Chain A
Amino acid sequence: MRDINISELERKFQEKIDNDVKIEPNDWMPEEYRQTLIRQISQHAHSEIVGMLPEGNWITRAPNLRRKAVLLAKVQDEAGHGLYLYSATETLGADREETIDDLHSGKAKYSSIFNYPTLTWADMGAIGWLVDGAAIMNQVPLCRCSYGPYARAMVRVCKEESFHQRQGFEIMTQLAQGTPEQKAMAQDALNRFWWPALMMFGPSDADSKHTAQSVQWKIKRHTNDELRQQFVEVTVPQAELIGLTVPDKDLKFNEANGHYEFGEIDWTEFWEVVKGNGPCNKDRLDARRKAKENGMWVREAANAFAAKRAARKSA
């Protein structure tokens, strides 16, 4: 009896998805759908928050007041993205602090790109251009994701990400047109961030575990390789436009089919960084853990204060 009911519910659920009707928090959903979304959205939220660190690293050294303000605003946007996304996981029944503790214990993942160091000012340009650019490729399709709160959060996030991407490209353009030192700085940043940016789309389709089911549920609409290809198509001409060289000797434009072909990604590096062996994994997690630990007394005080006020009111 129960089995029949469940399969009936599942049928209706899939029917909604097939008809592009959004799933809302109070609707019935398969447990696996819920868990997949919690994992995906919280991973996304963690990426926003950890992503504040490499760029936060240059705020105090930004070269002029305008760039400083733009960078501050950008990093603040990322914190805002983290907030909406944690809220979206809460609509699925996840607890924000538990989710964050999973990040701190190393159980939950975040985008590996943030495990690379920001060594020069040009990295602020490269990150905006490439990393926010890749994030947009990943996230635009999510604006049509089957889960309502996630889709709506993505609409807002994508608007801001495209603003970030333009600002990053503007920094790179300025540098590429600048003095020889500036141009070298821009090229060096592109050299270091190009491959990690391509890795942001995840393992190649052949090695990706979750794709098929996620496509059926419309949590994912394109495969990793499709999105990566799209990113290359858009980004390579931008690099050429400002006179920078993409660090890939196998990169070429295929006249016959009108697409770029690019070299093999170093998947060993990718998996090492995912496992925690990237240049900054430890620093990033330590910084996040330390922020939480150092903030415990503040939370406790805020809670104690709120309780006192509530007691005084009811007395």
Chain B
Amino acid sequence: MNSLFEYVLRLGDDSLILGHRLSEWCGHGPILEEDIAMTNISLDLVGQATSLLGYAGELEGKGRDADALAFLRFDREYKNLLLVEQPNGDFGMTMMRQFFFDAYRKPLFEKLQHSSDKHLAAIAEKSLKETKYHLKHSSEWVIRLGDGTEESNARVQESLNTLWRYTNELFFTNEVDAELVEKGIVPTMQEIQNEWNATVTAVLNEATLTIPTNNWKQEGGRKGLHSEHLGYILAELQYMQRAYPNMQW
């Protein structure tokens, strides 16, 4: 197996699918400023997906470019986290999902910007700048909603309870990671997880939210086994490429 291809594909698919989800908000945000902010984050993620999937295509060496990878694979071949394909729900759900993701991506890109793989390091360095802003934005909203009104606290606590089961998969590793860690290309997940725990604990405390005791854990996305939601995402995402194959747009 081409481990670096697989690893970069995971990163690219996370950006692609989360960017897709956020773009569903466009025109429907709770406040105009947040409509703009979510569209902006979506745009950053689509940009990251373009760079990452483009690089994955090069690593694979079979002539597939970013668009071929984004639009022409079957569901089992997408390696994104289950977390990022979960429906938007209300604004609080979207912010909680984003917060869990950003709190993981920031330390990951911080480490990856020093990767011995120069191309990956460059993408990580650029994406890190964006991710820092995303994390600031999502943490602030989690805190505001958690420590806002009784209603907002209840709603966002419910979102936390719903999404918590998908957070363990953020730290999924298999032989792909083992090989790349060994070669010094990627960091160990343990480092990322420690920082994620610290960020999440601090923010959820400030937000006066309670971490669920239920440790029920869901995983599958990294292996290509997704929730029912991904199929619908792909139906929309791939519609044009499937309906009108082999055309330039």
Q: Which residues of A contact B (CB under 8 A)?
A: 49, 52-53, 56, 59-69, 72-73, 75-76, 79-80, 82-83, 86, 121, 171, 174-175, 178-179, 181-182, 287, 290-292, 294-302, 304-305, 308
Contacts and interface: CB of A to CB of B under 8 A. Distances in A.
Contact of A72 (B43, B67, B92, B151): B43
B26 interface: yes
A63 B240 contact: yes
B39 A72 contact: yes
Interface residues of B, number: 48
Contact of A301 (B29, B33, B36, B149): B149
A290 B91 CA distance: 13
B39 A295 contact: no
Given A294-B30, A298-B92, 6 more contacts: A63-B244, A65-B67, A291-B27, A304-B148, A305-B145, A305-B148
Given A60-B236, A304-B148, A305-B144, A53 B40 contact: no
Nearest to A52: B27
A298 B20 contact: no
A53 B27 contact: yes
A56 B26 contact: yes
A65 B148 contact: no
Contact of B249 (A64, A302, A308): A64
A301 B39 contact: no
A56 B27 contact: yes
A53 B25 CA distance: 10
A6 to B, nearest CB: 37
B66 interface: yes
Contact of B24 (A60, A82, A305): A60
Contacts of A292: 30
A298 B148 CA distance: 9
A66 B143 CA distance: 34
B42 interface: yes
B240 A75 contact: no
Nearest to A171: B249
Contacts of B148: 300-302, 304-305
B70 A121 contact: no
Interface in B125-171: 143-145, 147-149, 151-152, 155
Contacts of B24: 59-60
Contacts of A291: 27-30, 35
B244 A182 contact: yes
Nearest to A57: B27
- Among B26, B35, B67, B244, max chain A CB count under 10 A is at B26
B190 to A, nearest CB: 33
